[in-house]
Each structure stands twice: as structure tokens, then as C-alpha cells.
Amino acid sequence: MYNEIDLDKIDVNAGPPTEEPDRQYYFMAKCREWVRTFERKNKRLPKSCVVNMGCQMNARDSEKLRGVLREIGYEETESEDADFVIYNTCTVRENANLKVYGRLGVLHGYKKKNPNMKIALCGCMMQEPSVVEKLQKSYRFVDLIFGTHNIYKFAELLWTVLSSDRMTIDIWNDTDRIVEELPIERKYPFKSGVNIMFGCNNFCSYCIVPYVRGRERSREAKDIIKEIKGLVKDGVSEIMLLGQNVNSYGKNLQEPMTFARLLQEVEKIEGLERIRFMTSHPKDLSEELIQVMAESKKICRHLHLPLQSGSSKVLNVMNRKYTKEQYVELAEKIRKAIPDIALTTDIIVGFPGETEEDFQETLDVVRRVRYDSAFTFIYSKRTGTPAASMKDQVPEDVVKDRFDRLLKEVQDISKEMAERFTGTKQLVLVEELNRQMKGYMTGRLGNNHIVHFPGDASMIGQILLVRLDECRGFYYMGSLTEI
């Protein structure tokens, strides 16, 4: 594991090594020297702020950025009025981009007060050439821009920025590299995300991810297992295996391996209590996986299975490669094999060409599958994707109306579904102090539901048995109990 490397032993006056990750350790050591000089001059440590704006993969990347900054010696802060601020951006929907431009205006204000402040942008949005052009032209106060493929070079890029006054831009179109063994700072001591693959090959016609995250690359199983063992040793009891499409894990490895087999290997790790994963593409979800889940003691009873649309016609144009019937059949099969499973989903309304009949098909699937919860999205046109140039974009008012109807349906069903666990006793991973109710803790069930119950901070990180006394729609009120 990374922890064994002593940066102070690195000769920063020698040239940088060419091999990774040694090269990054070298630049971390150089940045650390810079931090020491800063501290002597200013009688304080420089402050850094990492802002995560995207999905779970993005959040994991942010932990990597924080790990490097901690190693270098920055003091972490949540305030964006800091010496180094980095936005790890998302670009799945257009409004994510608009938010970034808005917030950059605020950062510019801080920088005027603190001219030595450095502002960095990374993540999916930076992989779009039009974004970088705009930043270069109208946001000259940004110091560093890099993308998703070279995040492992963060220390080196940071050094470039600290030692120069120019705007540094480093965007790669793609990569087949996966650099292991860089520092990571976890948000929670007891649970962690673990990347098992990067990129996506599916090219759903609305989605920008394959363009900004590149082609699918799986990590070697032995590296994944090694990382999880290290995490468990460090106090982690729950892991979330992360990938855009975990069901196609291992297909491009030298020795191909299925996701189900990887899960079986992970299950064997002693001390690991809970396994989650995200996200599954319905087209690749195998019988083998359902079997492994049904038999597992550690895999959580939760499956996120994005539907996107219930209309086979729309699904075809979306390039999802399954029909309504196939999806419903799959969901039924899963519910039969694992009756207490929570099924969740993503749905897009207003995809080009979606008619009221198509929308009714979506409602029909929602009513038949009965999701425990669903993320609903208004279709957002992403330049460069096939759907962006499709005719028949649906008028805004029609989309809004469908969105409201879908949301109501989804919420009514989730409430009813949650009721089925009321009165049961469930194992709960205690995550944090309840922010609203003094003397209460908040924890998560295996099926991803939230429960609040009386307790104290000493319980954080423990897995305890809780009785779900009352269901309040999206969460439960509970009490500690015994078997």
C-alpha cells in the first residue's frame, strides 16, 4: 500500500523519475518543500478545498485528490476561500456545467483578495473541448485544467502550477493506463468506494460519459483484492465496487473474468462485512450474478438497475440493447431469486421522439417493477452525442408535465415499498450523528434505506441490529434491539 513510502527520503534535487507512481511521489515531495516554505513565510499551513460535483466515481477521484494534498501538507478546509481550490466537475447534464461557471465567479472574488490563490478544474466537464476553449477565453484566472485520464498526474500538475504563473492545461483524449498505489483520503473511515473499472463502451445515444471517460478498462482482480484487504485492515467494513457498467467487468483483461467471479473473490476477504456495487447495465446482468447475489452473505440486498425508458421504441433509439419486456422479466427474476432486494433505477423523461404513449410505457414499468427508489431526470441535450442532433426534441412544458407525473408515481410507490420492512429487525451500519435530532444516530440498511435511532457517537462505524419501528416515507425511525 501507498502508506509505506516516505516522501522525505526522496531527493528533490535530482531529476524526476520516468516510471509511475515514483514520478508522482517525487512531485509530491517537491510540493511538500513548497508547503514548508509557505509555512515559514506565512506562519500557517496553506489551505486546500476539494469540491466534488459528480457521481460516486467522481467522489472516489476527489478522495484521490485529497490524499495527494494531505500528503503534500495542505490543511483541508470546506471553505472555498482557500489557497488551493479544485472543482472535480460532472457533465452528464447541462445544468451541472452552468453551475460551475456560476461558482467560478465567486472564486474569482476570493482570488482578488488572495492573489496567490490557485484555482483548478478537473473531471468530466474538462474533457469537452468547447468548455476548455471557453475557460481559456473568458476565465483566465483559472490556473490548472486537467481531465479524467491523467488524474494520477495531479501531483506533477500541481507542482507546475505552484512553480509558474501561467494557466496549465493538460487534457488527454484517452488512456489505457491505470496507475495504482497513490495516496487516498477517505471521507468515511468505515466505508469506501473501490474502482474496478474505468470508462464505458456502451454509447447510449444521450450520454456523454463514453466521450469524457474513454473506453472501458478493468483493473486486475489481484490489485482490487489487495486494495480491499488494505482497506479492511484500516477499519473499512463496507465497500462499493465502482464502474460505469460493472456487469461487463473483466471482459478486456488478459485473463478474462466475470463480475460475478470477482464478487466471489471479494466475498472471501475476512473482516469485510458488506459489498455494494454500482452501476449495472441490464443488458449484461447475468444469471450467474443473480445466483452469486442470492447465495452471498455479504452482498447487500440492493441493485441499481437503470431503466432509462419503458418504451422499447425509445430504448432502441437510446441504444440500450434491451426491450421493455426483457427488462421487466429480468426485474421479476431478480425479485424472485432475492425477495428482500431493493431495486432502484434511473429514468430519463423527454428523450427526443418520446410520445405520451412511450411515457405511459415508462409509467407501466414503474408500476410493475415497483422500485424502492428512482432517480428521475429531464433529458439534457449533450453536444456531440447522437441524440443531440435528433429531430423531435420534446417541448419543455410537455417534458415538465411528464416529469411531475413520473415523480409522483415513483414517490408513492417508494413509500409503499418501504412499508414492507416496518417492524423488522435489520443490520445497520451506523454512519453519523443525526444532524437534526440530538441524541439520534443515522445508519444505513443493507438495502440502502436510512434509519434514525437513539444512540451516541461511539456507535459510528459499527454494524448494529435495529428494529424499524416506523416508516416515514423515505426513512425509518428505529431502536436498537437484540436478536
Q: In terms of residues, how long is the chain? A: 483
Residue 92 interacts with ligand 5AD (CB under 6 A): yes or no: yes
Closer to ligand SF4 by Cβ: residue 201 or 393: 201
Which of the ranges 2-10, 35-43, 363-371, 379-387 carries the binding residues for ligand 5AD, by CB under 6 A? 379-387
d(CA 287, CA 300): 17
Element spanning 427, H or E? strand 425-433
Residue 209 interacts with ligand SF4 (CB under 6 A): yes or no: yes
Q: Which of 86, 161, 207, 417 binds ligand SF4 (CB under 6 A)?
A: 207
Closer to ligand 5AD by Cβ: residue 298 or 382: 382
Neighbours of 129 (CB within 10 A): 12
Residue 73 interacts with ligand 5AD (CB under 6 A): yes or no: no
Which of the ranges 111-119, 225-233, 309-317, 376-384 carries the binding residues for ligand 5AD, by CB under 6 A? 376-384
Residues 209-268 close enough to bind ligand 5AD by CB under 6 A: none
Residue 86 makes CB contacts below 8 A (sequence gap 6+) with: 48, 49, 50, 51, 65, 119, 120, 121, 122, 144
Do residues 290 and 303 touch, judged by C-beta distance below 8 A?
no
Closer to ligand SF4 by Cβ: residue 58 or 442: 58
* C-alpha cell belonging to residue 401: 408535465
Closer to ligand SF4 by Cβ: residue 202 or 311: 202
- In the bound complex, what is the minimum distance in angstroms from residue 314's beta carbon to ligand SF4? 14
Residue 379 interacts with ligand 5AD (CB under 6 A): yes or no: yes
- In the bound complex, what is the minimum distance in angstroms from residue 385's beta carbon to ligand SF4? 9
Pairing of strands 475-480, 463-471: antiparallel
Closer to ligand SF4 by Cβ: residue 202 or 414: 202
Residue 314 makes CB contacts below 8 A (sequence gap 6+) with: 351, 353, 354, 358, 361
Residue 375 interacts with ligand SF4 (CB under 6 A): yes or no: no
Helix, strand, coil percentages in the chain from 3-state DSSP, rounded to 5: 40, 20, 40
Closer to ligand 5AD by Cβ: residue 382 or 467: 382
Which does residue 93 touch among ligand SF4, ligand 5AD, none (CB within 5 to 8 A, set by kind)?
ligand 5AD
DSSP bridge pairs for 191: 238
Closer to ligand SF4 by Cβ: residue 218 or 426: 218
Which DSSP state fits 91?
A: -
Number of residues that bind ligand 5AD (CB under 6 A): 12
Residue 242 interacts with ligand SF4 (CB under 6 A): yes or no: no
Residue 432 makes CB contacts below 8 A (sequence gap 6+) with: 441, 442, 460
Q: Which of 89, 202, 345, 362 binds ligand SF4 (CB under 6 A)?
A: 202
d(CA 483, CA 480): 10
In angstroms, the first-to-last Cα distance of the chain is 38
Residue 309 interacts with ligand SF4 (CB under 6 A): yes or no: no
* Phi, psi (rounded to 5 degrees) for 455: 180, -170
Q: Which of 24, 48, 245, 344 binds ligand SF4 (CB under 6 A)?
A: 245
Residues 273-332 close enough to bind ligand 5AD by CB under 6 A: 306, 308
Residue 203 interacts with ligand SF4 (CB under 6 A): yes or no: yes
Closer to ligand SF4 by Cβ: residue 24 or 245: 245
- In the bound complex, what is the minimum distance in angstroms from residue 383's beta carbon to ligand 5AD? 10
> CA 120 from chain center: how many Å?
20
d(CA 13, CA 36): 16
Measured torsion, CA atoms of residues 185, 186, 188, 193, in degrees rounded to the nearest 10: 180
Q: Which of 30, 32, 191, 281 binds ligand SF4 (CB under 6 A)?
A: 281
Which does residue 203 touch among ligand 5AD, ligand SF4, none (CB within 5 to 8 A, set by kind)?
ligand SF4
d(CA 181, CA 444): 30
Residue 382 interacts with ligand 5AD (CB under 6 A): yes or no: yes
Residue 433 makes CB contacts below 8 A (sequence gap 6+) with: 440, 441, 442, 457, 460
d(CA 299, CA 273): 9
Which of the ranges 41-49, 55-63, 203-211, 260-268 carries the binding residues for ligand SF4, by CB under 6 A? 203-211
Residue 386 interacts with ligand SF4 (CB under 6 A): yes or no: no
Which of the ranges 66-74, 111-119, 200-208, 394-402 carries the binding residues for ligand SF4, by CB under 6 A? 200-208
Angle between helix axes 22-42 and 56-72 (nearest 10 degrees) is 60
Q: Which of 50, 204, 266, 369 binds ligand SF4 (CB under 6 A)?
A: 204
Which does residue 101 touch among ligand 5AD, ligand SF4, none (CB within 5 to 8 A, set by kind)?
none
Which of the ranges 159-167, 178-186, 196-204, 258-266 carries the binding residues for ligand SF4, by CB under 6 A? 196-204
224: closest CA among 182, 192, 258, 196?
196
* C-alpha cell belonging to residue 464: 448494529
Q: Which residues bind ligand SF4 (CB under 6 A)?
A: 200, 202-204, 207, 209-210, 244-245, 281
Q: Which residues bind ligand 5AD (CB under 6 A)?
A: 92-93, 206-207, 306, 308, 346, 348, 377, 379-380, 382
